[in-house]
Amino acid sequence: MDFINAIILLLNYIFIPGLTYGSQLALGAIFVTLIYGILRFANFATGDMMSFGTMMTILFTWYFQSLGISLGVLPTALIALPFGIFFMILYMLTIDKFVFKYYRTQKSPPVQFAMVSIGVMFVTQAFVRIIIGPGDRRFFDGEKFIIKAREFKDMTGLNEGLALKSTQVITIFVTIVLVSLLFWFLNKTKTGKSMKAYSDNEDLALLSGIDPKKIVLVTWVIAGILATIGGALYGLDKSFKPFTYFNNMLPIFAAAIVGGIGNPFGAFLGGYVIAFSEILLTYAYKKFFMYILPESMEPEGLVQLLSTDYKFAVSFSILVIVLIYRPSGIFKGKVL
């Protein structure tokens, strides 16, 4: 019985949160790798673009709630999400037209693009904070649990309870569906294959009659969808605070590089690698060992490798190690 309690403990505090957080990071990492693979620059505005899309989703969520529109047991944000995506894409295309297009026309080096994206990051931060403010925002229609810890304990008679929120299930399900559709689009459609060809060899793609304007447009549209959905799922699962999305830029970039920059599938898996690494190394295992070890061997301390304050240090350390020993990432070579 104690062994089962130990397993439930890990499921509740490591496995389910790891899958949820990893799904959110995976979408952001695919955003980064898509922009890098096709438009050929590291977009440091990723976190704040996710913040902008989430902000628009929140504003429309509040609007629909004021009208009494809801989805019942599902969050109203799911209705608002298409509107958030639309305004996110509009914002990205505007930024591309008035900022990135000039440098793309001038054939500027990737480093210059990266510096420009930092400027876009600060401008986007300012927009978000002016419009919605810097504080925490909850836009979920109350906390909804598919199963509560107390209910699980009553059903099973175990000491440990398993809590599962609807936001966690929605996050994992939406991520799997969205990523599956993206991979199908890139590998099976004419436009997706054109994007891969453009990424592999721009000059040869242009000679083949591929329209670069269309490729850029489709890339930003896909990026807008990924940024808004990834940001909104993170906000639903936790809460919305603009600066949090800026902080998430480090684990997102770490996930993209661990998976192999330019490789969407690698970025997808990289999100889970980073998420589980952060959680596994900062979780206090005292209670787990109390279940599986004899009473005489029970630990006195928390049995925690790192404090949760050092969560982002885990991402940074993994990023550095990968860049030193395997800069091409887990999956060598580009697939875009």
- Give the model's pLDDT for residue 238: 81
Q: Rounded mean pLDDT of 126-149?
A: 81
Q: Are 25 and 315 in contact (CB under 8 A)?
A: no
- Give the model's pLDDT for residue 251: 95
Q: Supply 7's token pair.
A: 């397993």
Flag the least confident range among 236-250, 303-317, 322-336.
322-336
Work out the number of other CB atoms within 10 angstroms of the CB of residue 207: 9
- Give the model's pLDDT for residue 266: 92
SS3 of residue 145 by DSSP? strand
- Give the model's pLDDT for residue 140: 66
- Give the model's pLDDT for residue 246: 87
Query: What pLDDT, in 10s, does the model give residues 256-310?
Result: 999 988 889 999 999 999 999 999 999 999 889 988 888 778 788 888 888 888 8
Query: What pLDDT, in 10s, does the model give residues 33-90?
Result: 999 989 889 999 999 999 999 999 999 999 998 998 888 778 888 999 999 999 999 9
Alpha helices, DSSP H only, in 208-248? Answer: 212-237, 242-247
Q: Are 263 and 33 in contact (CB under 8 A)?
A: yes
Q: Are 243 and 304 in contact (CB under 8 A)?
A: no
Flag the least confident range among 105-109, 183-187, 202-206, 308-312.
202-206
Could you give the count of Cα atoms lying within 13 Å of 184 in the half-sphere of its Cβ? 6
- Give the model's pLDDT for residue 301: 83
Query: What pLDDT, in 10s, does the model give residues 198-227?
Result: 888 888 888 888 898 999 999 999 999 999
Which residues have CB under 8 Å from 224's CB, separation 6+? 53, 85, 88, 89, 91, 92
Q: Is the pLDDT of residue 142 over 90?
A: no
- Give the model's pLDDT for residue 143: 57
On average, the pLDDT of the chain sits at 90
Q: To 5 degrees, how large is the angle CA 276–CA 282–CA 288?
A: 90
- Give the model's pLDDT for residue 231: 93
Q: Is the pLDDT of residue 326 over 90?
A: no
SS3 of residue 142 by DSSP? coil
